[in-house]
Structure formats: C-alpha cells, structure tokens
Amino acid sequence: MGLLDIFTGGSGPDKALKLKPKVTQKYGDPATRQKAIQQLGEMKYPEAVSVLLSRFTITVDPLTTDADEKEHTFELIKSFGKDAVPPILDFLRTSESAASWALRLLGELQTEEEVIGACVEALRHLAAHYTRNPEKKVVLLHHVTDKQDPRIPPVVVPFLEDMQDDVKIAALKALGAFKYEPAREAMLKLLTADETARRVRTSALAALVEGGFSVDGYREKVEPLLVEPYVLAQDGRVQRRV
C-alpha cells in the first residue's frame, strides 16, 4: 500500500470492496448508496463490477428509485466492456438471485453462443448443488427455451426431478422443442408419478406432443391421465385433438 492509499482508504480493489455495505444498504439516505454506486462506476477494477452486481440482489423503496438505480448500475457495469464478463459469470454461478440481470448484461457483452454456454454451465452447477430458491433455475431455463443448441437438453433433464413444480414446468418447456430422445423416459416417469401435480402433468403432455414421443412402456399408466385436448394416437404418440 502506497502513501496515497493510506489517505484514500486502501488500494483500488480494497476501496471497491469496502463500498459494498453502502451499495447494499436498503434503508437510510439513498444518496449514500447512489454515491457509492457512482464511485464504483468510475473505478476500473473487476472488484468494482462484483460490488455493483450486488445492487441487483436487494430491492429498495420506492420502487421507482429501485428501478432507476438498477438501470444506472446496469449501464455502469456495461461500460466496463469485456472486463466485466468474468465477474458477471462468477456472479451468475454463485448468486441465488438476480440471474436475469446477469443474463441481460452478458447479452450486451457476449455473443448468443457464449451466453448459452454460461447458462449451460450455471444449470450444470445448480443440478449438482442444492438451492432453496427456485427463481434462478426458472430464469435460466426460460432463457434457454427455444434456443436450438445441443448443449442445452442434457443439462435440463435433471430438473425434471426438481422439488419445485415451477422448475419442472420450465424444464419441460425447454425440452419440448428439442425432440431429445433421452428425455422421453424422464418425461413419462414425471407424468405418471403419483405425486406429480396436475399442472405439471399438463405440461408434460404438452412436451411429449412437441417432442413427438411415444408412450411405449407407459401406455396403461398414461391413458387414464389424458385430459382435453390430449389424446393417444394409434402409433402410441400423444397428440392434441384437432
């Protein structure tokens, strides 16, 4: 630490980290939080991006102030350019909230292929580690839905066994368009399990239709579960009644 650091509160990275309590301060004078955000935006250290990202993990009143601050924080992080990518990727992997902001930032700074790669890695990490909050899983699954990338379906299938119905439904929607044969068995097991909620079963039927899968091996269990507009065709595939 140099002489200047003694009077300014430490080196640049250290100063950035010391501002985190102010950035995540929900109560008190908002000017304190806003000043800290602006100071971080003027630094050029990865640690500044990491601290700025923490602003997305809290919500303050009034909501108009919250929205304005988050948009300002977004623009400040974006101004770091490619230097902001590693901290954002780390945030996406480790934070249980604000995944939508991280993905939005990556969308501005990376190619779509790179963003999908980040989603795939984050989903793989989530599948192997317990998390109470389903929000991040749902956000990531929604982001990869309708994206035709072969890296996606293998990391989505495990979420058909998630404890949260919203996660299962998001996984089914993401898988439907892929016609990914290894997902067929998992979809049918989910559809026919006694504990599966009705809305999840409806989503499973829709995914089976979209994937063009047959119910071979499960016909007797599937038939009683069919609801309008779903029917079983002669070839064993679930179809929507015309």
Helical (H) or strand (E) element with 230: strand 230-232
Which amino acid does the sequence have at 90? D
Residue type, 116: I
User: What is the C-alpha separation between 203 and 134, in angstroms, rounded?
Assistant: 18
CB atoms near residue 99 (< 10 Å): 25
pTM of the complete model: 0.90
**How many CB atoms are located within 10 Å of the residue 24 CB?**
15
* pLDDT tens track for 98-157: 999 999 999 999 999 999 999 999 999 999 888 878 999 999 999 999 998 999 999 999
Region of 232 on the Ramachandran plot (φ > 0 left; ψ -120 to 50 alpha; else beta): beta
- pLDDT tens sequence across 50-78: 999 999 999 999 999 999 999 999 999 99
Tokens of 87: 């901290």
**pLDDT, tens only, 28-47:** 999 999 999 999 999 988 99
Q: What is the pLDDT at residue 2?
A: 43
Token pair 């480790």 is found at 94
